[in-house]
């Protein structure tokens, strides 16, 4: 038996997307990612598959954060047609990285920086959002609440650390 990947039929994309979303909701993002890769292999600019792919990859941050995964997400974001979606999903990537870092020892100051970068993206997205679409505002508010709840602060640079140590 030959171990090789098979192409899905273009007529199967709609059902495959439905399956990918289902696997995300079942907390199996690796399977959703694989399905999206199958779709993107035959339709590399399928916007819905790109979004599900981005979400499936960011769903996996709690397992491990691989640089290659972040780069794959960034490449997928660049392929999104809408400037609004590029800003929104760029913010989501940074927000999910920040949320991952909160769970890691000694990483709260790095999480703060990612939250701030996410807020910048969400602000930009909210300025160009489609009418009656407040998803960027909802994400903004969620970031603000977690920064306050976790009492996150910016990192001190080495000069600030020395001043604090001398005080």
- Do the Cβ atoms of 39 and 46 come closer than 8 Å? yes
pLDDT tens readout for residues 22-79? 999 999 999 999 999 999 999 999 999 999 999 999 999 877 656 678 999 999 999 9
Confidence of residue 163 (pLDDT cuts 50, 70, 90): very low
Q: Which long-range contacts (CB under 8 A, 24 or more apart) does 33-36 make?
A: 33/57, 33/60
Q: What is the pLDDT of residue 82?
A: 96
How do residues 96-148 score in pLDDT, each as one tens digit? Answer: 999 999 988 778 889 999 999 999 999 999 999 999 999 999 999 999 999 99
**Dist. CA 119–CA 146, nearest whole Å:** 12
Instruction: Give the residue-averaged pLDDT of 86-102.
Output: 96
Pairwise pLDDT comparison (16 vs 104), residue with the higher score: 16
CA distances from 53 to 34, 117, 126, 130, 164 (A): 9, 22, 23, 22, 44
pLDDT at 161 over 80: no
pTM of the model: 0.87
Would you state the pLDDT for residue 104? 84
């Amino acid at each position: 038996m030959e171990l090789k990947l098979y192409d899905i039929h273009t007529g199967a994309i709609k059902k495959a997307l439905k399956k990918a979303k289902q696997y995300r909701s079942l907390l199996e993002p690796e399977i959703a990612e694989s399905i999206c890769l199958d779709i993107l292999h035959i339709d590399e600019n399928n916007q819905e598959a790109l979004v599900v792919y981005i979400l499936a990859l960011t769903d996996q941050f709690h397992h491990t954060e691989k640089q290659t995964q972040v780069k794959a997400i960034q490449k997928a974001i660049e392929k999104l047609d809408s400037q609004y979606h590029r800003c929104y999903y760029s913010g989501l990537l940074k927000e999910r990285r920040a949320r991952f870092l909160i769970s890691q020892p000694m990483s709260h100051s790095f999480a703060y920086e990612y939250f701030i970068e996410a807020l910048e993206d969400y602000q930009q997205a909210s300025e160009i959002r489609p009418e009656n679409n407040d998803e960027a505002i909802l994400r903004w508010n969620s970031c603000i609440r977690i920064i306050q709840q976790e009492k996150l602060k910016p990192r001190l640079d080495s000069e600030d650390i020395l001043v604090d140590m001398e005080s």
